[in-house]
Amino acid sequence: MNLRNIYINAILADASYAAKLIDGLEGSKLEKALSFRMTPALAKFMAREFSVVSHLETDREGVR
């Protein structure tokens, strides 16, 4: 695993904690959701390269 892959995996992990993620979110809507958690440039990159396939919101203890 190279440094680029490690970095992207870390960003994906962080992005998974963004509020208001929903299944199928992509493009400008995903960018907007991520912009509250990361820099605008990083949110734009993530929205260009990835989409939300499935997301389950849980509380801190993992119970819905």
Is 22 inside any structural domain?
yes
Length of the chain: 64
Look at residue 60 in the predicted model and tell me its pLDDT.
Answer: 66
Provide the token pair at 50: 């990835």
For residue 25, give its domain range: 3-49
Is 37 inside any structural domain?
yes
Residue 32 vs residue 64, higher pLDDT: 32
Asked if residue 62 lies in contact with residue 56, where contact means CB atoms within 8 angstroms, the answer is no
What is the spatial distance between Cα 45 and Cα 64, in angstroms, rounded to a whole number? 30
What is the spatial distance between Cα 64 and Cα 52, in angstroms, rounded to a whole number? 19
Look at residue 23 in the predicted model and tell me its pLDDT.
Answer: 93
Is 60 inside any structural domain?
no
How many domains does the chain contain in total? 1
Look at residue 5 in the predicted model and tell me its pLDDT.
Answer: 94
Q: Per-residue pLDDT tens for 3-61?
A: 999 999 999 999 988 888 899 999 999 999 999 999 999 999 999 999 999 887 777 66
